Amino acid sequence: MHNAYVVTGTLVDAQTVSLDEALPLATQKIRMVVEPVVNTSRRSYHDVMAAIRERQQARAHQPPTREEVDAHTRAEREGWDD
């Protein structure tokens, strides 16, 4: 019976795979099944916020002024039933 090894690696180009760890095999022909690994690592808060700010800057986003926010809040509260 043959041993099967499950390892991860990086697809360097269309025909080259760089394994994350060595296999205990001599040079020989092998069969390989490739399954893309979903990136489950979470980005840091800093990285997410930096990406958001970059996209906002790219589209020339202008946040509302304090006066605009205050006016909207005042108008919203005036619509509340007591």
Alpha-carbon distance of 68 to 66, in angstroms, equals 5
Q: Is the pTM of this model over 0.85?
A: no
How many domains is the chain built from?
1
Where does 1-82 have alpha helices with state H? Answer: 45-58, 66-78
Residue 82, pLDDT score: 65
pLDDT above 60 for 1: no
Given this model, what pLDDT does residue 81 score?
A: 79
Query: What length is written for the chain?
Result: 82
Confidence of residue 2 (pLDDT cuts 50, 70, 90): confident
Domain assignment present for 3 = no
Any domain includes 2:
no
> One-letter amino acid identity for 82?
D
Tens of pLDDT, residue by residue over 24-73, are: 999 999 999 999 988 777 889 999 999 999 999 999 999 999 999 999 99
DSSP classification of residue 41:
P
